[in-house]
Amino acid sequence: MQPVTHSIDTPFPSGPVHCYSFESEDGLILVDCGLATEEAERYYSSQSFDLSRLRHILITHGHIDHYGMAAWLAARSGAKVYLPHRDYLKSRHLRDYLRILGDLMYGMGFDNSYYKSLMKLFNLEQKYAPIPENLLVVEKDLPKNLGVDFVACPSHSQSDLVYLTDGCAMTGDAVLQGIFQTPTLEVDMEQSGRFNNYEAYCDSMIKLAALEGRRILPGHCQAPASVREVLLFYVTKLLQRAERLRPWRNEANISNIMSEMFAGGKTEAIVVFLKAGEVIFMQDFFREPERLAASLQHVGLYDEVKEFYDQALGR
């Protein structure tokens, strides 16, 4: 049985989040669940969704528009909630996660005032979209009899999982048509340092390319006709943005870069945070460009982007 799409509105530029339900021998499985809003509550309480049959909620990655309704749904259905391993570590050691993130931000030149503004946003997320208490870990606890498999494809976040069933791939934010998924600045709780999105993307590209031929069910936007075209779009944008950021490729003070980029204008803390993650991603590319080239050659895309690759590096 093919998954059923449930689109939950968000106020974010990426638009509605697409969640997917399908049958298993144990009941209904839901992949992602949307932002926590009254509108989402009404949707899941309506005839459009059989809440009484919900047994398992699988999260692609721990961003609020993908997991926000999990606690509400679990409380009303008794469904089990599965988080990717790295998001589980974050949720169970959140205080340490935020402390290490603060150390990273201070090391990048951000002051305490900015960090406090950022923490207010994270605290609001915890207030309006709490993580369920009885969490399970996808990589360890997902039952094999559910008819669903998964592939770890981190880069947008440290935990991106793609779920596979019946020739379909539910990709969350790992495969989006026409969107450059901003690499999020995150703490690697296994290493107690910064998660390297760039290295992760170079490895994930090969696994994403292997999804070609499956029906792609993305977390946002329309379904792409081709994974290859999505990868080509993403890499082209990556290289074009890297070229613009080349003057700052060795600048350790990311706060200074933000000030120059936004020309001293007032910018929301979350926008600065997201853009900082992108800058660091590009700096990692400049430190090791051959890693990306190797992945592009492996999936047969290098020749198509070589011009952009050379321009990014100033060749």
Residues 6+ apart with CB under 8 A from 251: 257
Question: Cβ of 221: how many Cβ atoms within 10 Å?
Answer: 16
Is residue 125's pLDDT more than 70?
yes
Cβ 56 vs Cβ 146: under 8 Å: yes
255 vs 18: CA distance, rounded Å: 34
Q: What is the pLDDT of residue 77?
A: 96
pLDDT per position as a tens digit, 274-297: 999 999 999 999 999 999 999 999
**DSSP conformation letters of 69-101:** THHHHHHHH--EEEE-HHHHHHHHTHHHHHHHH
- Residues across the chain: 315
pLDDT per position as a tens digit, 173-222: 999 999 998 999 999 999 889 999 999 999 999 999 999 999 999 999 99
Give me the mean pLDDT over the 221-236 stretch: 96
Q: What is the pLDDT of residue 20?
A: 98
pTM score, two decimals?
0.95
Give me the mean pLDDT over the 97-107 stretch: 95
The Cα-based distances of 61 to 84, 112, 162, 209 in angstroms read 7, 28, 9, 19
Cβ 60 vs Cβ 172: under 8 Å: yes
Q: What is the pLDDT of residue 267?
A: 80
Q: How far apart are the first and last CA of the chain?
A: 51
pLDDT per position as a tens digit, 234-277: 999 999 999 999 999 999 999 999 888 876 666 888 889 999 99
Overall domain count for the chain? 1
Percent of the chain with pLDDT over 90: 85
User: What CATH number is given to the structural domain containing 50?
Assistant: 3.60.15.10
| 69-73, 142-146, 256-260, range with greatest mean pLDDT | 69-73
Is residue 133's pLDDT more than 90?
no
For 91, the domain range is 4-312
Give the chain's mean pLDDT: 94
